[in-house]
Structure 1
Amino acid sequence: MTDASPDAALGGANREGESPRTDTPVETTEETTVHEGDVELERTIGLRGGLAIGVGTMIGAGIFVFPGIAAGEAGPAAAASFALGAVVALLVALPASELATAMPRSGGGYYFISRAMGTAFGAVVGVSLWLGLVFASAFYLVGFGEYAVAVLAEVGAPRPELVVPLALVFGVAFTVLNVTGTENAAALQNYVVGLLLGILVAFLLYGGADAVGLVGEPSAPETFAPFGYTPVLTTAALVFTSYLGFAQVATVAGEIKDPGRNLPLAMVGSVLIVGAMYVATIFVATSAFGSAALSQFGETAMVEVARYFFGAPGAIVILLAGLLATVSSANASILSTSRAVYATSRDAILPQWASRVNLRYGTPHVALGMAGGPILVLIAVGEVELLAEVASFLHLVMYGLICVALILLRRNPPAWYDPDFVVPGGPAIPLVGAAASFGLIVFMQPLSQLVGIAIMVGAVGWYFYYARDVTLKGAL
């Protein structure tokens, strides 16, 4: 760990009328002095770990849930929906990369927006990001339970009602894992994502060869957009949940080694890798069955595609890959949720005791509890699919504001603003990124929009009740 003062590394805040926090040393070694209340997290995550967080969070629902649903909505043009989602994500990943190299601190989008646009915007984004990640994490963990039960069914084993119990057990396990050290969570993420990518690449290579007739029988050609092109946009809004993971890299920016190089590579690289795999997956899946037949399989479409290529063993392997995908998504989301809580509490937008760091493991254990606890409650309730969609709404709002934040900081840059990576093209990319992010929200379901707006209104209420007197300090 490194020494940090309230006015320096993490840019903390004080509530008006309160005494500033003291810098009392509580532990001294030859290398560092750790201060109570003002501790910067260790930089233990390299480029591979950053890519694993981004890819591991994104490569869940996009490949294992959406192909059948998206094919039913847009036909083979669902591939264009995934490609459009990747383009929107890239338009945000580039501005986020510039901001992250200028402010490589935990909190990601919250931190960027609060320093560029002030406490009110920061409070709304910070609280919304925390809750959005909680809902998404619960969704991933319930998905894990469902895949685990499906594996039992595939091999003919008894399958009692284990979905919620398995989700709860693994939710606790991932929270504890993250408490014991970020490097432990990152190591798990690296292994899981590496194995998952190996399975998917092999599957897609064979499926691609089958689709073009190199093996098996050539597939019959199909109209690319049988329902027209408007469904391409509505389906892009539906599947954009698949691209939330790149922003999770920014939430752990304070723990990334060599952030000037690794943050842009991890964020942009994860979008490119996952976007290419999504498009390839839709191509392979619709070539195997045709979009109409594929849509009949719903959320289990990829299992049936694997069964078509490889029989029962292929179905089991894809089910196991689904388990790995939900594990990696849940693990990365819990890590990111805790860092969102950590950053907002450091700024006193949430109670400052939530930013305490465990001196043994160097992790924000209280913030992890504030992440894991609500996740377990939502898992027990079980109705998390709508909340996961709302998470996409809240992230799109944050993505649009990230682009606005970059424009504002460039127009009147403070003395500390010195990014290692600069987005080319002046304001063009952040302007288009903001318009695309806010524009996708228009195509979401009205209920998701209403719930998302209600959460943001609640965050505004929290700001006026608790954080309106907070004075944010500089980013560096």
Structure 2
Amino acid sequence: MDMTAVADDSQPVASESDLDRTVGLMGALTVGVGTMIGAGIFVFPGLAAGRAGPAASLSFAIGAVIALLVALPTAELATAMPKSGGGYYFVSRSLGALPGAIVGIGLGFGLVFASAFYLVGFGEYAISVLSEAGVLESTTVTIGPVTAAVLIGVVAGVGLTAMSILGTENAEALQNVVVGLLLAILAVFLSVSALDVLGIYGDTQRATGFAPKGYGPVLTTAALVFTSYLGFAQIATIAEDVAEPDRNLPLAMVGSVVLVGVLYVVTLLIAGSTFEPDTIGPMGETAIVEVARVYLGPVGAIGILIAGLLATLSSANASILSASRALYALSADDLIPPQAAQLSHRYGTPHFALTFAGGVTVLLVASGRTEVLAEVASFLHLVLYGFICVALLKLRHERPDWYTPSFECPGYPAVPVAGALASFALIYYMQPLSQLLGTVIGLVALGWYFLYPDEIALNGGST
């Protein structure tokens, strides 16, 4: 492995792909939307509206703006380097092998951690749907030493991994169907509840003013809920699978942030207008279910629970697929064992990388303790986003011959500078434990970078 390799004029970036480009614009868009449209609707509304009331919608709007400050530079880099690995590939080719290794290994960890968190959530939503429908008397069901929710998450993880191994088009087809159903359910819920809040239909449910606790909590809440936007970069991670990358990558990245941002803002306006902050805050993760119950009764509650089921499934599906592509890119650069870069002769997928990513995810799900891992995943993604913006600044300054993006980030250099500063600044507001674990993973990646080449030499040369 070339320990000092960086992209320069003599190192063009190949545009051809070893993987089959089977993912179209809709598939790429649903990867981004399906990964992001989770926490902002099914986890944070109670906490956010409890802090700021309807003004929490401004917090999500601020989060969307920050996400766009990173999505636009990412889109430019992706059209210049439409390769698997996304942020890892961009950073390693612009800033060098060492920063690339730290970011790439961190990205792999982050995606696996996030996948496990989503699958546990999928199991919990499945049990909640059965309980709300009267099939189960309690949401606490155990089967042997594990809960039924964890067991459902494990089965789902195995199924998603197997499906992706059998062809990326399978993962894309599932993502399109799941996200389509999810958006349809949310469209019905948001339309009915918005008409009610506005007094156009039904009994007006507006319970509070726009900012009952002032505008002070808006910024602190924005730092909290930004994790809801950690997903658009997954589109860049699977860039080598995307057809017509020059067109589809920018449209999918920017489009997914805008679409999800609008849904988040409308959802928080409705949730914050339905209950007083002191009432909705203690509801926690069930807040959006109770909001749906107000406007659509038990059917609405079940519908939102099904939407949560679909959201966690789509997030897990996209994250497992993205994690395998991050491993594939690391292996292609000799940073991890070569098996991860091997493709199935029959299906054209990185079957070893998918098996490893899915296998580790399933083991983490079986442990049942994934909450902290989710925030560590956010920490690692924010580090990645900051470095992506720095990578764009460096490449625009140097302009190597091979750097010919078909899409250019508007507002340069203000946009990438602001994106980098915002990404690194948000890390400051995270829990100390998450900051510590994220730093430890960075140090592990650093150690691996220096030790793994020595292991290759001891075993007879380069991989």
TM-score, structure 1 normalization: 0.89
| Structure 1 residue 224: Cα displacement | 3.5
Q: Deviations over 1:213-272 (max 9, x none)?
A: 111223446343444444323322222221111100000101111111100000000000
Within the candidate set 125, 137, 140, 2:103 is matched to 125
Q: Deviations over 1:256-302 (max 9, x none)?
A: 11111100000000000000000000011111223221112110111
Matched-pair contact (CA < 8 Å) for 1:106–1:343: yes
Report the Cα distance in structure 2 between the residues aligned to 1:392 and 1:89, rounded to whole angstroms. 13
2:34 maps to 56
1:210 maps to 196
Report the Cα distance in structure 2 between the residues aligned to 1:227 and 1:107, rounded to whole angstroms. 43
Q: 1:390 to 1:74 in 2, by over 3 A?
A: farther
Q: Deviations over 1:82-137 (max 9, x none)?
A: 11111111000000000000000011000000100011001100110000011100
Report the Cα distance in structure 1 between the residues aligned to 2:196 and 2:53, rounded to whole angstroms. 19
Residue 43 of structure 2 aligns to which amino acid in structure 1? V
Provide the secondary structure at the position in 1 that maps to 2:34: helix
Is 1:73–2:67 an aligned residue pair?
no
Q: Unpaired runs of 5+ in structure 2?
A: 5-15, 143-147, 457-463
Is 1:406–2:384 an aligned residue pair?
no
| Structure 1 residue 187: Cα displacement | 0.5
Is 1:47–2:25 an aligned residue pair?
yes
RMSD: 1.8
Matched-pair contact (CA < 8 Å) for 1:192–1:324: yes
Provide the secondary structure at the position in 2 that maps to 1:157: coil
Within the candidate set 82, 85, 88, 1:107 is matched to 85
Is 1:152–2:138 an aligned residue pair?
no
| Structure 1 residue 14: Cα displacement | 5.9
1:474 maps to none
Within the candidate set 337, 349, 361, 1:363 is matched to 349
Provide the secondary structure at the position in 2 that maps to 1:41: coil
Q: Deviations over 1:432-475 (max 9, x none)?
A: 111111111111122211111111111111111115899xxxxx
2:426 maps to 440
Within the candidate set 247, 252, 268, 1:261 is matched to 247
Matched-pair contact (CA < 8 Å) for 1:120–1:468: no
Within the candidate set 338, 346, 354, 2:332 is matched to 346
Report the Cα distance in structure 2 between the residues aligned to 1:73 and 1:462, rounded to whole angstroms. 42
| Structure 1 residue 425: Cα displacement | 2.6
Matched-pair contact (CA < 8 Å) for 2:101–2:445: yes
Matched-pair contact (CA < 8 Å) for 2:55–2:269: no
1:171 maps to 157
Report the Cα distance in structure 2 between the residues aligned to 1:39 and 1:52, rounded to whole angstroms. 21
Matched-pair contact (CA < 8 Å) for 1:71–1:292: no
Report the Cα distance in structure 1 between the residues aligned to 2:455 and 2:411, rounded to whole angstroms. 38
Provide the secondary structure at the position in 2 that maps to 1:245: coil
Is 1:322–2:308 an aligned residue pair?
yes
1:8 maps to none
Report the Cα distance in structure 1 between the residues aligned to 2:133 and 2:153, rounded to whole angstroms. 20
Q: 1:206 to 1:467 in 2, by over 3 A?
A: farther
1:25 maps to none
Report the Cα distance in structure 2 between the residues aligned to 1:199 and 1:68, rounded to whole angstroms. 20
Matched-pair contact (CA < 8 Å) for 2:63–2:226: yes
Matched-pair contact (CA < 8 Å) for 1:142–1:164: yes
Structural mapping, 1:391-470, within 5 Å: 391-467=377-453
Matched-pair contact (CA < 8 Å) for 1:75–1:292: no
Report the Cα distance in structure 1 between the residues aligned to 2:274 and 2:212, rounded to whole angstroms. 17
1:311 maps to 297
Residue 151 of structure 1 aligns to which amino acid in structure 2? V
Report the Cα distance in structure 2 between the residues aligned to 1:369 and 1:212, rounded to whole angstroms. 50
TM-score, structure 2 normalization: 0.91
Residue 291 of structure 1 aligns to which amino acid in structure 2? P
Report the Cα distance in structure 2 between the residues aligned to 1:416 and 1:282, rounded to whole angstroms. 44
Matched-pair contact (CA < 8 Å) for 2:73–2:388: yes
| Structure 1 residue 155: Cα displacement | 1.6
Residue 401 of structure 1 aligns to which amino acid in structure 2? F
Report the Cα distance in structure 2 between the residues aligned to 1:467 and 1:318, rounded to whole angstroms. 50
Q: Unpaired runs of 5+ in structure 1?
A: 1-12, 17-37, 471-476
Report the Cα distance in structure 1 between the residues aligned to 2:32 and 2:61, rounded to whole angstroms. 17
Percent sequence identity is: 61
| Structure 1 residue 314: Cα displacement | 1.0
| Structure 1 residue 70: Cα displacement | 1.3
> How many residues matched?
437
Which one is further off, 282-291 or 306-315? 282-291
